[in-house]
Structure 1
Amino acid sequence: MKVIMIPSGFKECLDADEVAVAMGAGAKRFEPFIQTEMLPMIDGGEGFAKAIVRMKDGDLIHKTVTGPVWKKINSHYGIFQEGNERTAVIEMAAAAGLKLVPKSLRNPLHTTTYGVGELILDALNKRVNKIIIGCGDSGTSDGGAGMAQALGVQFLNDKQHPIDIRSVTDIMKAVTINTSKLHPRLQEVSIDVACNWKNVLCGKRGVARVFGPQKGASPEQVNSLSETLDHYADLIENCIGVNIHCSPGSGASGGLGAGLLAFADAKLHPRFDLIKQYVQIEEKIANADLVITGEGSLDFQTPDGKIPCEVARIAKKYNIPVIAITGTIGRGAESNYDAGIDAYVSIIQNPVTLDKAIANAPRWIEDSVECILRQITIGVKLANQKNRIQSNGTNQSI
């Protein structure tokens, strides 16, 4: 039996590489000689830049930038060369990810994507021809306004004075936008963004209402954030002529997708479509007997472009069974059956605190994979026994 492990990361716990290693260890505990392949998948979030750079034999560039809570942090992005094209790979999570926001400071009204803009600037100054940006695992909801400021955009008040946007609600003071100081190389460089295509900036399904509470916003703050992003979208449409209210992907990473569309002339892509250009996944799935995938939380959002269901959709083309392991099983998880996942299990073995669950995650992933493979073996034995009985011409049940 050939088993391929294709997990995404478990947010704020393990990156995709670490999950894959634990999966492989669990398989070897079951059978030391089982044929396995680990293919940790990147969805644009944590680990995106490092993974692409590793695949393309590129270089990791370390850079000090402004973090999501306005303190300087050590960040990174990658650069690789293909022919005459020099490409930068940036993950927004490395400069504005949720993991970088202390739990006591999780208020999306006061976090910024300024550091993402600083990474883009550094890449532009290194004369890249193309930039790939991964949106995922964000800790911000500023619509990309911070990033825009780092790139040279000015938000002006009614006296035509620039506003220093330290809080998202500062955007409400802006009456116009000045883009004359944008970095000139933005016109020369193509920017492709891997994002959740179904996330939009405004409306009932806008980023404030769907993801604001996950980032620490109270109901009052959600309303304030939603109103601010509506104003932000109106401002961009009136001043720049770009409608980002409900553009596909505009809500990615707290609205960073909208900022990239409006100020960097970026092209947004369903993240898996873009990532598949760099990871040869379909051939590997087609040659497997079983796929084991996983993510930190499996729920009603998983079918909307997340790795486990994207993997499952490919596997279904080749009739390959897919089992997902997860930390928590959330609301609407059963919708994943219709998206191609044949079964899913939680790794949680007993009631524990979140901190203990995170500490135990590698071992519990190993245990879960070993248990899954043992259960499959039982099923194979039962099927073989039934076939033997039928071949003997008896009607005996098993």
Structure 2
Amino acid sequence: MPALRKIIVAPDSFKETLSASVVATEIAAALRAQLPHCEVVELPVADGGEGTLDALLAATQGQRRIARVHDPLGRPINAEWGLLGDGDTAIIEMASASGLALLAPHERNPLITSSAGTGELIRAALDAGARRFMLAIGGSASNDGGSGMLSALGLRFLDQADQVLPPGGAALARLARIDLAGLDTRLAECSFAVACDVDNPLTGSQGASAVFGPQKGATPAMVIALDAALAHYARIIHATRGLDVAQHPGAGAAGGVGAAALAFLDGSLQPGIELVLDAIGFAEQLAGADLLITGEGRLDGQTLHGKAPIGVARRAHAAGLPVIAIAGSLGEGAERLRECGFRAVFACVPRPMTAAEALRDARERLRHTAEQVAALLALTDRD
């Protein structure tokens, strides 16, 4: 193997444990120790979930802002949003206001959790003068079809008695009509690029409830109820806006926020990783590189549906670079990554263990795995 002159380290975060920048730092440190002659470039990425705000503000020398909003259970919190370096584009990271990480495991209940805080962040950016938006919708705690977000922007979701529905996905089963009269008029002046980390439809076996509901606390019975509620919601949206969102790719992102953005914000759904890679000048960074290392907390079949590692790998392959991945763990379907061009995939979890144990020692396990990968590369690195 020829000598490695330049390695790009471009991981996503290990969800709920390590940020993308920490993951990149640990991998890069191991590489530099074993390959001191090699240039190692740390390029943490995100795909529309946690870390997207940080990646884009760093890449564009943007400004971080704070707004007082409500978390998925309606509790007041401070949440971050950002103004990119162009001074005109707001970056709204849903995870900051409506993210799963804001809730303790026992609090996760997609029947009642709401995306309202995300709408409040948008409103804060509107108040600050922003009219161009990048909406990063990964990492959400809600399954409410974006109704909470839209309610914060002035829509009213009403039942048969013309009463406003309570927050949460379950209530959408009682939706009779959507009152558009109060929608913030400033939204007509805005554009929304919606960064999705998945391409799932709103409903069905690959929809928001079935695929992502369980990680948000849904039992099998809840999944059935939530899917039926979102299907009903989609019918009301069709009657209201003339748009069929149920099977639109990406409509199921963030528990249906993708559908809400399509129907009421005239949003353009785009792979989040593509938006981020363009913003951080990824193509320019690849020049002269010999290898790319990526990864995320869990690599499985879902990774192929628009997650950061597959987006990074596709760009690297187009530039002729081999790609390897380091993951916290591997799940069902991970073997398909080899079919998509990954030369090798390494997991940090070496044996069966509880989730709590794996999360507790995540950084140490990552460091050990990165050291092993670096040692293997050094063994085969020859002038």
TM-score range, shorter chain: over 0.9
The Cα shift of 1:49 comes to: 1.4
Residue in 2 that maps onto 1:293 = 294
The Cα shift of 1:301 comes to: 1.1
Opposite residue 169 of structure 1, the aligned amino acid is A
Residue in 2 that maps onto 1:282 = 283
Superposed, 1:253-264 pairs within 5 Å as 253-264=254-265
Instruction: Tell me, yes or no, if structure 1 residue 15 matches structure 2 residue 16.
Output: no
Instruction: Tell me, yes or no, if structure 1 residue 49 matches structure 2 residue 53.
Output: yes
Equivalent in 108, 111, 126 of residue 110 of structure 2: 108
Rounded to whole Å, the distance in 2 between the matches of 1:338 and 1:351 is 26
Residue in 2 that maps onto 1:120 = 122
Residue in 2 that maps onto 1:29 = 33
72-81 or 87-96: bigger deviation: 72-81
Opposite residue 42 of structure 1, the aligned amino acid is A
Larger Rg: 1
The Cα shift of 1:81 comes to: 4.4
TM-score (norm 2): 0.94
Residue in 1 that maps onto 2:100 = 98
Instruction: Tell me, yes or no, if structure 1 residue 39 matches structure 2 residue 43.
Output: yes
Please give the secondary structure, in 2, of the residue aligned with 1:250: coil
TM-score (norm 1): 0.91
Residue in 1 that maps onto 2:136 = 134
Per-residue Cα deviation, 1:150-183 (whole angstroms, up to 9, x for no partner): 1100112223x23132232222222111111100
Residue ranges of structure 1 left out of the alignment (5+ in a row): 385-398
Rounded to whole Å, the distance in 2 between the matches of 1:196 and 1:233 is 21
Rounded to whole Å, the distance in 1 between the matches of 2:292 and 2:255 is 32
Instruction: Tell me, yes or no, if structure 1 residue 252 matches structure 2 residue 247.
Output: no
5-14 or 190-199: bigger deviation: 190-199
48-57 or 219-228: bigger deviation: 48-57
Residue in 1 that maps onto 2:74 = 70
Higher relative contact order (CA closer than 8 Å, sequence separation 6+): 2
* Residue correspondences, number: 379
The Cα shift of 1:32 comes to: 4.1
The Cα shift of 1:364 comes to: 2.2
The Cα shift of 1:350 comes to: 4.6
| CA gap 1:33/1:356 in 2 versus in 1, 3 angstroms | farther
Rounded to whole Å, the distance in 1 between the matches of 2:323 and 2:54 is 27
Rounded to whole Å, the distance in 1 between the matches of 2:198 and 2:357 is 34
Rounded to whole Å, the distance in 1 between the matches of 2:145 and 2:250 is 12
Opposite residue 41 of structure 1, the aligned amino acid is V
The Cα shift of 1:356 comes to: 3.2
The Cα shift of 1:50 comes to: 2.2
The Cα shift of 1:228 comes to: 0.3
RMSD: 1.7
The Cα shift of 1:191 comes to: 0.9
Rounded to whole Å, the distance in 1 between the matches of 2:378 and 2:155 is 60
Rounded to whole Å, the distance in 2 between the matches of 1:145 and 1:53 is 28
Rounded to whole Å, the distance in 1 between the matches of 2:89 and 2:50 is 19
Q: Quick one: percent identity of the two aligned structures?
A: 38
Opposite residue 160 of structure 2, the aligned amino acid is D
Residue in 2 that maps onto 1:321 = 322
Rounded to whole Å, the distance in 1 between the matches of 2:319 and 2:123 is 43
Rounded to whole Å, the distance in 2 between the matches of 1:286 and 1:336 is 24
The Cα shift of 1:360 comes to: 2.2
Q: Contact conserved, 1:133 with 1:191, CA < 8 A, in 2?
A: yes
Rounded to whole Å, the distance in 2 between the matches of 1:25 and 1:273 is 27
Equivalent in 143, 146, 165 of residue 144 of structure 1: 146
Residue in 2 that maps onto 1:362 = 363
Residue in 2 that maps onto 1:222 = 223
Instruction: Tell me, yes or no, if structure 1 residue 158 matches structure 2 residue 168.
Output: no
Instruction: Tell me, yes or no, if structure 1 residue 204 matches structure 2 residue 208.
Output: no
